[in-house]
Amino acid sequence: MAEPVAAWHYDGRSATRHAVRAVPGPDGFLIEGETDGFGSGPHRWADVVALDGTGGRSVYGLKGVAGWRLIFDGPPPDSFAVHLPLPARYGRVIDRFGLTRAVIIFAVIAAALVFAVLSAPIWIAPLVPRSVENRLGDAMIGDFGGRFCRTDGGKAALDRLAASLGAQEAGVRSVEIANVPMVNAVALPGGRIILFQGLIAQAGSPDEVAGVLAHEIGHVANRDVTAALIRQLGLSVLLGGIDGNIGGALNGLLSLSYGRKAEMSADGYAIGQLARASISPDPTAAFFDRLGRKSGDKGSLERATAWISSHPVSADRKTAFQRSRVAGKRYVPALTAAQWTALRGMCAADRHAKKEKGFNW
Amino acid sequence: MGQDQDSAFRFEGRWQDYAPIAFTNLLLTIVTLGIYRFWATTRSRRYLWSRSRFIDETLEWTGTGMELFVGFLLAVVLFGIPFLILQFGVQALALRGHEGIAGLIGIAAFFFLLFMAGVARFRALRYRLSRTFWHGIRGGSDSNGIRYGLSWLWKSSVGVIPFWLLVPWSMVSLWNERWRQMSFGSQSFASQARARPIFPRFLLFYLMPFLVVIVAGILMATFGIAMVGFAAGGGLPLPFQILTIIAVLVGVYLLLGLIALAYYAAFLREAISNLTLGDIRFRFEASTSEWIGLLIVDILLVVCTLGIGAIFLSYRHWKFFITHLEATGEVSLAALGQSTTREPGQGEGLLDAFDLGAF
C-alpha cells in the first residue's frame, strides 16, 4: 500500500465538500474522511474518468455515479497518475490520431464527399427510371393550377414545333404554355417543359421560340433536371451539418443552375436540332442579344431577366448559335404564319386559362 | 456561506486561454463539413462553465458532443424529413391550384411548429441544467415539456392578438412557468416575475411612430431653409434625396433595435431578479447601455476580423451573463441533495432545429 494522499471529494449525493485521504492500492483505491467517519471504496482504477481541471487542479469522476468527484490541488500524485487516464481533449477519435493528422484525414474525406456529391448526379441521373421521374413531376406540377393555355390551333402548332425539334426522342412528355407574364422557360421533372406567355409575347418570330424550346428539350434529353434534383438533395444532406446561413447560401448557389457544362451541352443539342429542322439559328442569337439589352430597361427588368438569370447570356453562347449558320443553306420558318398567330394568341383565346399576374416562380 | 453579497458569481476566463479552443473548433468544424460543431459546442461550454465560479466552486459542464449529435439526428428524422415532404406536398397542391387546402395545411403546420418551438425551449433548458454540476450536484426537471409547449402555443398566440399588447405578459408568464418546473439538486426554482414593471418599456414600441414624426419635423425645421433654396431649382438633387431616404430607413431600424434592446434588458432584469432557489435569490443587473456596448463590440469584432471574430461571440455573451449575474442568501450544502430528476438522453437537437436561444 502506497502513502495516502490528501484530496477533496464530492460524493454526488449531497453538496457537502469532504476533505479526504485517498489510499491507492494495486486494483483500486479507498477514500477515508479526515475528520468525520466518512469513507468509501474500494473504487476500481478502470472506473475512473479524467475530467478537465481548473486552476491547476486535477479532477476525476467515477463511472456510474453522477457528481462523484475526487479533486487534487495540482497534478495527481505519482502513485495515482500511473493508473489514471488522461482527460479527453478534442474528442475520443481525434485524441487518438492527434490534431494535425485528424485534420488532414477529415479534410481529405470532406473533399472526396463534396466531389462525389457534385459529380455523382451526372452518372446517377440516367439510372433513375423515367417512370419514377414522371410520377414525381406529375405530382409536383399537375395541371399547374389551370394556368395552361390550350386552343386546338395553338396546341397543334406547339406540338408540331416540339416534334420537329426531336421532343419525342428526347423523352419530352408535354410542352405547354403557361399564362404567366414572365420571360422564362423551364424543363421540369418528368419530361415536362413549360414556356411562359411572357416569352412568347417577347419573341419576334417562331424561330426564336424554337431556339429556346430546343434548349429546354436538350435539358430533358441529357436528364439534367434529374441530376439537379439529386444534386440538391445530396447537398442539403451534406451541408445540413454546417450551421445556419453558410450552408444554405452555398447550397442555393450550387444548385441554382444545371451548371455551365450542362447549359453548353443543351445549347449544342439545340443547335443540332435547329439544323436538322432547317430552322435558322440567327433569330435565337438575336433573341439572346435582345434579352441581354432589355435587362437594362427599368420596368421590364424583373420579367426580362428571369430566363437570363437561370441561363446566363454570354457572348460565347451567342456566337455558337451564329457560327452554326451554314452559308447558302435554305432555312424555313419554324411555323407557318397561321400557326404562329394561333400560338401567340392561345392565351388570349383560351378563356379557361387562369391568368397569373404576380406568379412567383 | 453566501456572505459575499456582491460577487457570488465570478467569471475567471481569459480570452487568450479560450482562443486555442475557439480556433481548433473552427478548423475541425470546417474539415468535418460542420459535424464537429456538436463537439465544438461541448468544448467551449466545458471551458466557460469551468471558469464560472459560484461562491467557492466552479461550475462543471458534463454534456458530451455525442449527445448533441444524437439530438440533432433525432430532430432531423422526426421533424426535418416530415416537414420537407409536407413542404413539397403543399407546393405541389398550390401549383395544382388547391390553394385553399395548401393554405390550411400550411397554417396547421405553422401552429404545430410553434408548439414544438415551445417544447424545444423547455427541453433545452432542462438539458443544460441536467448537465451543469456544482459541488457534485446537478439540475433538471421532472416535466417533459409537452404541457409547457401547449402553454407556449396559446400564450404567445393570445399575447399577439390585441395589437401585441399582451406580449410582455406572455413572455413573463412563460418564463415563470418554465422555471417553476426546473430544479437544482433537491431544491426547486421559484419564479415570481411580473409583467407590470416592464410594460412601460414595451409601450416605447407604440411611441415610435410619434418619435419618427417628431425627429422628421426637427430635421425639416433644421434643413427647411436649405430646401427652400433648392425648391426654386426644382427640389433637392437626386443623390441628396436618396441619402435622406437611406438615413431615415437606417434611423427607423436603429430606433426599433434600440427599443427592443431596452425592453429585453428590462425583461431579463425583472425575470432573473425574481428567480429564487431555496434561500438563494438571483439578480441580473445589465443595463440597456451595457447591452448596447456588448452588441457594438460584437459587431466591431466580427466586421474588423472579416467574420472570424464570430468564434468569440459565445465567450463574450457567457462572460456578460455571468459578470452581471448575482446571488444573495444562504446555501445549505448539507441540505442540498442530488437531483432525482430523470437525465435526458440527448441534447438540444430540437432547439437546434428551431434556432432559438435557451434563456
| Contacting residues of B for A102, CB less than 8 Å apart | 28
CB contact under 8 A, B33 and A144: no
C-alpha cell at B159: 399575447
pLDDT tier, A356 (very low <50, low <70, confident <90, very high otherwise): low
What pLDDT is attached to residue B35? 86
Work out the average pLDDT over A117-129.
77
Average the pLDDT over each of A214-218, B181-185, B230-234 and give the range with the smallest value.
Answer: B230-234
Nearest CA in chain B to A59: B60
CB contact under 8 A, A142 and B60: no
What pLDDT is attached to residue B304? 92
Nearest CA in chain A to B52: A54
Chain A interface test: which of B14, B21, B30, B31 (most A C-beta within 10 Å): B31
What pLDDT is attached to residue B69? 86
Tell whether A243 is within 8 A of chain B (Cβ). Answer: yes
CB contact under 8 A, B28 and A103: yes
Higher confidence at residue B267 or residue A222?
B267
What pLDDT is attached to residue A359? 43
CB A165 within 8 A of CB A214: yes
Give the closest residue to A335 by CA, choosing from A296, A280, A289, A295.
Answer: A280
Tell me the ipTM for this assembly.
Answer: 0.77
| Contacting residues of A for B33, CB less than 8 Å apart | 110, 113-114, 238-239, 241-242
What pLDDT is attached to residue B6? 59
Q: Is the dihedral of CA A155, A156, A159, A161 positive or negative?
A: negative
β-sheet bridge partners, residue A175:
A193
Shortest Cα distance, chain B CAs vs residue A233, angstroms: 11
Work out the average pLDDT over A55-71.
87
Shortest Cα distance, chain B CAs vs residue A238, angstroms: 8
Of B43, B338, B343, the CB nearest to A12: B338
CB contact under 8 A, B334 and A16: yes
Tell whether A238 is within 8 A of chain B (Cβ). Answer: yes
- Where do the H-state alpha helices sit in chain B? 15-31, 37-50, 65-75, 81-95, 99-130, 146-160, 167-180, 199-232, 238-273, 288-304, 313-324, 349-354
Average the pLDDT over each of A321-330, B20-29, B61-70, B212-221 and give the range with the smallest value.
Answer: B212-221
Nearest CA in chain B to A139: B92
Instruction: Give the number of A-B residue pairs with CB atoms closer than 8 Å.
Output: 122
What pLDDT is attached to residue A310? 56
What pLDDT is attached to residue A248? 46
CB contact under 8 A, A67 and B138: yes
CB A204 within 8 A of CB A287: yes
| Contacting residues of A for B88, CB less than 8 Å apart | 140
Above 90 in pLDDT, residue B282? yes
CB A287 within 8 A of CB A208: yes
What pLDDT is attached to residue A294? 54
What pLDDT is attached to residue B351? 58
| Contacting residues of A for B138, CB less than 8 Å apart | 66-67
| Contacting residues of A for B47, CB less than 8 Å apart | 52
CB contact under 8 A, A90 and B28: yes
pLDDT tier, B133 (very low <50, low <70, confident <90, very high otherwise): very high
pLDDT tier, B224 (very low <50, low <70, confident <90, very high otherwise): low
Task: Report the alpha-carbon distance of residue B6 to residue B328 in Å, rounded.
Answer: 8
What pLDDT is attached to residue B350? 60
Q: Which residue has the cell 419554324?
A: A334
Return left, alpha or beta for B163; rule: phi > 0 is left, psi -120 to 50 is alpha, else beta: left
Per-residue b or e along A98-115, where b marks 16 or more CB atoms closer than 10 Å to that residue's CB: eeeebbeebeeebeeebe
pLDDT tier, A239 (very low <50, low <70, confident <90, very high otherwise): low
Average the pLDDT over each of A266-275, A294-303, B37-46, B98-107 and give the range with the smallest value.
Answer: A294-303
Q: Give the number of other CB atoms < 10 A from CB of residue A301.
A: 11
Tell whether A67 is within 8 A of chain B (Cβ). Answer: yes
What pLDDT is attached to residue B245? 76
| Contacting residues of A for B336, CB less than 8 Å apart | 14-15
What pLDDT is attached to residue B15? 92
Average the pLDDT over each of A203-217, B2-16, B156-170 and give the range with the smallest value.
Answer: B2-16
Work out the average pLDDT over B283-301.
94
Nearest CA in chain B to A13: B338
Shortest Cα distance, chain B CAs vs residue A358, angstroms: 14
| Contacting residues of B for A11, CB less than 8 Å apart | 136
What pLDDT is attached to residue A256? 46
What pLDDT is attached to residue B3? 40
pLDDT in tens, A140-155: 777 777 788 888 888 9
Of B50, B76, B133, the CB nearest to A240: B76
Shortest Cα distance, chain A CAs vs residue B2, angstroms: 14
What pLDDT is attached to residue A330? 85
Chain B interface test: which of A54, A238, A243 (most B C-beta within 10 Å): A54
Tell whether A94 is within 8 A of chain B (Cβ). Answer: yes
Higher confidence at residue A189 or residue A353?
A189
| Mean pLDDT, all residues of chain B | 84
CB contact under 8 A, A67 and B338: yes
Task: Report the alpha-carbon distance of residue B213 to residue B208 in Å, rounded.
Answer: 9
Above 90 in pLDDT, residue A130? no
Task: Report the alpha-carbon distance of residue B108 to residue B110 in Å, rounded.
Answer: 5
Amino acid identity for residue A348 in this structure: A
Work out the average pLDDT over A12-19.
88
Percent of chain A at pLDDT exceeding 70? 82
pLDDT in tens, A192-208: 888 888 888 888 889 98
Query: In angstroms, what is the C-alpha Rg of chain A?
Result: 35
Three-state secondary-structure class, residue B3: coil
CB contact under 8 A, A10 and B135: yes
In A99-138, the residues whose Cβ lies within 8 Å of chain B are 99, 102-103, 106-107, 110, 113-114
| Contacting residues of A for B81, CB less than 8 Å apart | none
Q: Give the number of other CB atoms < 10 A from CB of residue A2.
A: 14
pLDDT tier, B197 (very low <50, low <70, confident <90, very high otherwise): very high
CB A250 within 8 A of CB A202: no
pLDDT in tens, A243-295: 444 444 444 444 445 777 788 888 889 999 999 989 999 888 888 777 766 54
Shortest Cα distance, chain B CAs vs residue A13, angstroms: 5
Per-residue b or e along B34-66, where b marks 16 or more CB atoms closer than 10 Å to that residue's CB: bbbbbbbbbbbbbbbbbbbbbbebbbbbbbbbe
C-alpha cell at B184: 437544482
CB contact under 8 A, B60 and A51: yes
CB contact under 8 A, A15 and B185: yes
CB contact under 8 A, A141 and B334: no
What pLDDT is attached to residue B9? 93
**pTM for this predicted structure:** 0.72
Nearest CA in chain A to B354: A244
Task: Report the alpha-carbon distance of residue A16 to residue A9 in Å, rounded.
Answer: 9
Above 90 in pLDDT, residue A307? no
| Contacting residues of A for B24, CB less than 8 Å apart | 90, 99
What pLDDT is attached to residue A292? 64
CB contact under 8 A, A67 and B133: yes
Above 90 in pLDDT, residue A300? no
CB contact under 8 A, A145 and B94: yes
Higher confidence at residue B268 or residue B100?
B268
pLDDT in tens, B11-28: 999 999 999 999 999 999
Work out the average pLDDT over A7-15.
89
C-alpha cell at A169: 426522342
Task: Report the alpha-carbon distance of residue B304 to residue B300 in Å, rounded.
Answer: 6
Shortest Cα distance, chain B CAs vs residue A343, angstroms: 23
